[in-house]
Amino acid sequence: MKLYTFLLDGQERLGVETSDGRLLDLEHAHDLLRQTHFAPFASMLALIEGGAVALDMTRDMLVGAPDEALHDLASATLAPPIPRPRKIRGFSVYERHLRQAVEGAARMLAAREPDPEAAYQAARQASNLEALVGPGWRATPGYYYSDCTAVTATGGEVRWPDYSDWIDYELELVAIIGRQGKDIAADQAQGHIFGYSIFNDLSARDAQFKAMATGLGVGKGKDFDQSNPFGPCIVTADEIPDPYALKVAVRVNGETWSSGTAEGPYWRFADCIAYASQSQTIYPGELFSTGCVVDCCSMELQRHVLRGDRIELEVGGIGVLRTRII
């Protein structure tokens, strides 16, 4: 099922996509069909916490859905699927992405210098690539926390941060935790995933490089208002048996910049969940992001995003996450 949070008369509503592509307001449908209140339909987070019972009721609502509770999906105003996620963990699971990103950054920075080749060699050496993707990176699936208040919906406009001259997108897959757990074994982790969505980890690359030089993380490189576009929906895990087989594409102003699949992670969601849950409880509504899928940021392509650009991140079976940089 494809599940949405949408706005109706300024209020957040929970919806599910019907077989004919319309949007069913679940709480309204339940009120009409059962004449009772069903708490898990109050919000996406409530639905996730409601577990299998809530999902079964969602399927029931799709049978004989009342017209009064149906809306045109194409014209609906969507909110982030979870307007305030409990936590966002940003992993980096694609080695090839890291290598290509370092190469792209070195080439782009060097192109500004009087001797580009010498500048490129110096930048490559300064990047310490082998340390970045060396034994430490392969020992544990590292992550950082991202700002839960900075999520924004598909179709939104994100203001270019004043302190940066270099903004980039990153197409990432995100798994939504559906069941609480602690010290979860990797072979049990799939049972804790509610579903999947798309995440755009917008990045101020120049600020990111400065922050990473401190050794304390990405800092203001990934920390500004609305820097975490998320959506357009959550697809339940039963409909995506292998998220890494999903087709991906990036378009900027309608031009395809890259396309492929999400294949090739060094760490899988199961590994990330097992690692993060060591001696720490994870809860429904938390987001686990893959980090950038290979070829899915402009730095890898040695291209620049400009003010006013419209970015579309598409993942087959999920949808398109649209963002305009202003």
Q: Are 266 and 96 in contact (CB under 8 A)?
A: no
259: amino acid identity, one letter: S
- The whole-number pLDDT of residue 215 equals 83
Mean pLDDT score of the chain: 96
What single DSSP character describes residue 180? Answer: -
Q: Which residue, 163, 283, 295, 281, is CA-closest to 227? A: 163
Terminal-residue alpha carbon distance, the chain: 33
Indicate if the alpha-carbon torsion angle 272, 276, 281, 284 is positive or negative: negative
Cα–chain-centroid distance for residue 312? 13
Look at residue 103 and tell me whether its pLDDT is greater than 70.
Answer: yes
- The contacts found for 277-282 with CB under 8 angstroms, 24 or more apart, are 277/181, 277/182, 277/183, 277/184, 278/183, 279/182, 279/183, 280/182, 281/180, 281/181, 281/182, 282/87, 282/177, 282/180, 282/181, 282/182, 282/184, 282/192
SS3 98: helix
- Write down all domains in the chain, each with its CATH number in brackets: 2-78 (no CATH), 140-325 (3.90.850.10)
- Helix, strand, coil share (%) of the chain residues, nearest 5: 35, 30, 35
Residue with tokens 């799939």: 190
**All residues at 6 or more sequence positions from 295 whose CB lies less than 8 Å from its CB, including other chains:** 97, 100, 250, 258, 260, 301
Tell me the CA distances in angstroms from 25 to 13, 18, 41, 59, 79, one per residue in order: 7, 10, 9, 13, 14
Q: Using one digit for the tens of pLDDT, what is the confidence trace for 233-266?
A: 999 999 999 999 999 999 999 999 999 999 999 9
Residue 198 φ/ψ, nearest 5 degrees: -115, 140
DSSP class of 160: P
* Model pLDDT for residues 266-325, shown as the tens digit of each residue: 999 999 999 999 999 999 999 999 999 999 999 999 999 999 999 999 999 999 999 999
Distance separating alpha carbons of residues 36 and 91, to the nearest angstrom: 42
pTM attached to this predicted model: 0.97
Asked if 322 contacts 311 with a C-beta cutoff of 8 angstroms, the reply is yes
Give percent of the chain with pLDDT exceeding 70: 99
Distances in Å between the Cα of 4 and the Cα atoms of 8, 84, 120, 147, 311 are: 12, 14, 45, 21, 21
Q: Tell me: the pLDDT tens digits for 12-65?
A: 999 999 999 999 999 999 999 999 999 999 999 999 999 999 999 999 999 989
Q: What is the mean pLDDT of residues 199-218?
A: 93
CA 292 – CA 83 distance, rounded (Å): 22
Q: What radius of gyration, in Å, describes the C-alpha atoms of the chain?
A: 20
Whether the per-residue pLDDT at 119 is higher than 90: the answer is no
pLDDT of residue 210: 92
pLDDT above 70: residue 121: yes
With bands split at pLDDT 50, 70 and 90, how would you rate the model's confidence at 129? low
Cα gap 313→201, rounded to integer Å: 11
Least confident of 33-37, 94-98, 141-145: 33-37
Residue 146: closest CA among 213, 199, 69: 199
